[in-house]
């Protein structure tokens, strides 16, 4: 007989859904408002697990010495959009990892469009793909994110090793 003393009970998908329930929409809405206020990112959630965003660039602060968009601007846009997609699908937790590919700079574009979509939801980890294009439709960057599924009360604890 196996003892369960001192172990945390296993979470199920239903537990995660029940935990998020009514809070999910509030966190998504709050996140969207914060991104608009702090960074000027406009985000919509066309479906659960999908987020789309628009960022109007400031040529004075968002461009590097070569006149193209800073990679950090692209990465931040994708990470924030992926986070909203994650929340909209019922997830809550930090970004654990991101693999990013920068395809080209955008010397002429003034608006960035990002789309992020949950590709593999899981009980402990969720995977999300994101991409950014400029206002000419040029593909600038893509990323694959891993988010840790956490309960609201667990967000201050370190991410558990898998």
Give all domains of the chain, ordered by start, each with its CATH number: 13-152 (3.10.129.10)
Which residue did the predictor score with more confidence, 39 or 156? 39
Instruction: Determine the Cα–Cα distance for residues 79 and 39; give it in Å rounded to an integer.
Output: 13
Say whether pLDDT at 81 is over 80: yes
- Looking at the chain, the number of H-run helices and the number of E-run strands are 2, 6
**Which of 102, 113, 103 is closest to 136 using CA atoms?**
113
pLDDT of 105 = 82
**Which of 70, 53, 62, 59 is closest to 131 using CA atoms?**
53
Distances 29 to 9, 35, 83, 84 between C-alpha atoms, Å: 31, 10, 12, 9
What is the pTM for the complete model shown?
0.75
74 C-beta neighbours (distance < 10 Å), count: 27
């Amino acid at each position: 007989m196996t003892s369960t003393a001192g172990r945390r009970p296993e979470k199920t998908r239903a537990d995660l859904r029940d935990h998020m329930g009514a809070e999910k929409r509030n966190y998504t809405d709050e996140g969207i408002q914060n991104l608009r206020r702090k960074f000027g990112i406009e985000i919509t959630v066309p479906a659960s697990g999908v987020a789309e965003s628009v960022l109007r660039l400031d040529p004075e602060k968002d461009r590097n010495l070569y006149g193209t968009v800073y990679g950090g601007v692209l990465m931040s846009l994708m990470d924030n959009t992926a986070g909203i997609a994650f929340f909209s699908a019922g997830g809550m937790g930090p970004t654990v990892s991101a693999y990013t590919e920068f395809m080209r700079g955008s010397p002429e574009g003034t608006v960035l469009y990002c789309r992020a979509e949950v590709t593999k939801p899981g009980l402990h980890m969720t995977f999300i793909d994101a991409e950014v294009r400029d206002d000419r439709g040029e593909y600038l960057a893509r990323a694959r994110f891993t988010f840790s599924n956490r309960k609201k009360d667990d967000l201050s604890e370190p991410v558990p090793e898998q």
